[in-house]
Amino acid sequence: MDTNASWWGERSAGSGPKVAGAQARSMVMASLAGPVIALASALTFFSGCVGTVGISNEPEPGGAGAPGGPGGSVQVTGAGGGGGRSGTGGNSIPPLGAGGRIPPGVGGLPVTECNSIAPGRTPLRRLTTYEYNNTVRDLLGDTMNPGSALPAQVDSKQNLFGNDANEQSPFPLLIEKYQAVAETIAGRATANAAALTKLHTCATGVTTANEEACARMIATTLGPRAYRRAMATTDIEDLVTLYRGVRALNGGTFASGVAAMIEGMLQSPDFLYRVETGTAVAGNSAVKRIAGREMATRLAYMFWQTMPTAALFQTADAGMLDTNDGVLQQAKTMLNDQKSHPTVAFFFDNLLPIPDLAGLTRQATLFPTWSSSIGVAMRTEVQRVLEYEIYENTSPGTAPFMPGSWPAILTAPYTFVNQALFNYYGASSFAPGTTVTGTALTKVNLNTSQRLGLLTLGGMTAGSTVSDLTNPVLRGSFIINKLMCRTVELPTGFTPVAPDPYSGKTARERYTQHSANEACAQCHQMLDPLGFPFENYDAVGLYRASEKWTDQTTKVTYDTVIDAHGSVPGVDGTAKNGVELVQLLATSLEVGPCFASHWMRFAYGRSLDDADICNRQSVQNAFKSSGYNVKQLLLSLTQTDAFLYRTAQ
């Protein structure tokens, strides 16, 4: 990070509209390098203050390393009972374990006392591609998703959402792409008189006499929004100087000068990074409070994945985001806004195996009804079920399956289908008498002897299958790793191989033989009981009671009734099929904390470590106390030390 920051500044200073030849343009822009290099120097300073941005070998929570971190301490004082920071209430649910073990916290729990403010690591976060596109849209009205031209983002071992700050170090190709993308955006923003007028009404009748004054107005309007902070007079003057230099080039115009300012803004660390300085905390020099526009920015990117609105900036400037309660009230307002729905959908798109359903390929002779359009509809079905349960469902429920909760999502007895999807699944998949016509998604009750909840939906069962044959190990692996947060790691040097497709008449027969291998048995003991119950769903998400298989030697085709029994690690009882398994899963003491930890990683833009023990405890206690309500979970994320503070060094 540090080694690249000043270089970025120099490269940024050499960017701008191509109006008079690359050499002349570079000479003028180089003469204006000071302000941008100053920003880069600030970036270097901030990266030192708030943590590293480079890749680190971060331990899983519960692993090696002392808990606690800068500005706070934690203490393990006993077993069982309640605990945690004053005001959180409830029994503590400690961090999840790793290595495929039932994590500490299922019973006989050590109590963590959180005696002081402990925000954990506070790395400098760069806008993700999704955030970049949304921010450019809201800043300039550009809806072309220009960030799609940037290099692909990288998930980390813990963070599945492409926003782990540890994976956000800049590199030459990224910097070049930022320059190219900024130039394209600026070109569209200044393409004609109408586009310029959208930047500021002063551009309507601009003349040689007043054009620099208009450029200053544009800088004064866009700058604070782009940088998400108040702009000093010198900040505005830097942009106007940039305008003036490019305007003076041979062939320079008002539009090209304004484009240069926009390019400069879009390549500034103040735009690309969420720079936070914080405010001093009386009596505690180890931490700083996030307040004002910095808190507005945290809230906006958490709930809306974009820059703050003018109204949110006004709220921040009025001091209404400087207290815990003020943050909570604003969070409620933003979560209840329709703009939060795409953020929740984005989270689940990255957690669940549904983004690539449209591109799923299957052998047409085996699955003649499958199509890309069905894949698209399945993905939309999953998203709509999630949206309805989280935001809209007000029907009565019984704990732990209260409306709006994660257990309720896992066991929802309904779905949303249009006519095409209804016909694809078949009428037997739904409650007797159900009919659906038209293209709109319609809420219908499921035949709960065949399907129940999120994991039995067609998109989930098809999306977790990578070939024409179902794979109970992959399906079980998804549950154990992503829904229970157990880490199942392969032995060093071992490469798993799928069993011979002709070694048994059913997947259970084939994989049972496969797991008899001593090298495979340890993992399969956990994965297979979670995957086998979903064998009633084929490779394209259709329900089946039996599996057809043809012996390649005798050419005899068998139609064998599927044995779909299984179980959930750490939960008493067995399930005879997927419907029963999801009900067991919904009661697991590991599933709620795992779900909460995914939201923490997404909302805080980083992996979690032992310094987050109090943050995790606070969130998990609140989630449990709310009956595992998803919206309440999101609100609780704004009340932790990790969200309200940052380390001071």
233-281 per-position pLDDT tens digit: 999 999 999 999 999 999 999 999 999 999 999 999 999 999 999 999 9
Contact 566, 540 (CB under 8 A): no
In a domain, 64, yes or no: no
Whole-number average pLDDT of the chain: 85
Assess if residue 97 is contained within a domain: yes
pLDDT at 372 over 60: yes
Residue 511, pLDDT above cutoff 70: yes
pLDDT digits (tens, 9 = 90+) for 279-323: 999 999 999 999 999 999 999 999 999 999 999 999 999 999 999
Mean pLDDT confidence for 29-50: 39
SS3 label, residue 589: coil
pLDDT tens for 107-166 read: 333 557 888 999 999 999 999 999 999 999 999 999 999 999 999 988 888 899 999 998
Q: Which helix (H) or strand (E) holds 573?
A: none
Judge if 160 and 263 occupy the same domain: yes
Is the pLDDT reported for residue 28 higher than 80?
Answer: no
Query: Collapsing DSSP states into helix, strand and coil, what is residue 344?
Result: helix
| 433: in domain | yes
Structure tokens at 564: 């779909």
Q: Does residue 380 belong to any structural domain of this protein?
A: yes
Same domain, 438 and 564: yes
| Joined tokens for residue 192 | 């004609």
Q: 164 and 28 in one domain?
A: yes
Are 238 and 252 members of one domain? Answer: yes
Burial of 354 (0-12, 13-18, 19+ CB in 10 A): buried
Residues 131 and 105 in one domain: no
In a domain, residue 576? The reply is: yes
Q: Are strands 284-289 and 414-417 parallel, antiparallel or unpaired?
A: unpaired
Residues 119 and 130 in one domain: no
Among 353-367, 376-390, 399-413, 508-522, the least confident range: 508-522
Same domain for 580 and 604, yes or no, is no
By CB atoms closer than 10 A (0-12, 13-18, 19+), residue 474 is middle
Residues of the chain with pLDDT > 90: what percent?
72
Residues 541 and 436 in one domain: yes
The pLDDT assigned to 453 comes to: 98
Is the residue at 574 inside a domain?
yes
Give, in degrees to the nearest 5, the angle at Cα 619 between 615 and 620: 115
Q: For position 111, what pLDDT does the model report? A: 56
CA distance 532 to 412: 21
Instruction: Indicate the residue among 221, 253, 272 that finishes a domain.
Output: 272
Do residues 90 and 217 both lie within one domain? no
At residue 550, φ and ψ (nearest 5 deg) are -110, 125
Residues 466 and 530 in one domain: yes
- Please give the tally of structural domains in the chain: 4
Is residue 54 assigned to a domain? no
CA 576, chain centre distance (Å): 34
- DSSP 8-state code for residue 86: T
Query: Domain range spanning residue 200?
Result: 12-35+126-272
Q: Of all helices (H) and strands (E), which one includes residue 288? A: strand 284-289
Cβ-based neighbour number of residue 413 at 10 Å: 15
Rounded to an integer, the average pLDDT of 51-65 is 33
The residue out of 220, 241, 272 marking a domain boundary is: 272
Taking only the tens place, the pLDDT of each residue in 325-352 is: 999 999 999 999 999 999 999 999 999 9
Would you call 73 helix, strand, or coil by DSSP? coil
**Which stretch of DSSP H or E encloses residue 173?**
helix 172-189
| Residues across the chain | 649
247 and 179 belong to one structural domain: yes
- Among the listed residues 230, 160, 118, 293, the one whose alpha carbon sits nearest the alpha carbon of residue 599: 160
CA–CA separation, 486 vs 475, rounded Å? Answer: 14
How far is it, in rounded angstroms, from Cα 334 to Cα 342?
A: 12
Sheet containing strand 645-647, strands side by side: 279-281, 284-289, 645-647
Same domain? 150 vs 264:
yes
- pLDDT at residue 69 tops 90: no
Instruction: Identify the domain boundary among 585, 607, 629.
Output: 585
Residues whose CB is less than 8 angstroms from the CB of residue 424 and which lie 6 or more positions away in sequence, other chains included: 369, 374, 377, 458, 542
In a domain, 624, yes or no: yes
What tens digit of pLDDT does each residue of 548-607 get? Answer: 988 888 889 999 999 999 999 999 999 999 999 999 999 999 999 999 999 999 999 999
Residue 5: pLDDT band (50, 70, 90) is: very low
Q: How many CA atoms lie within 13 A of 466 on its CB side?
A: 7
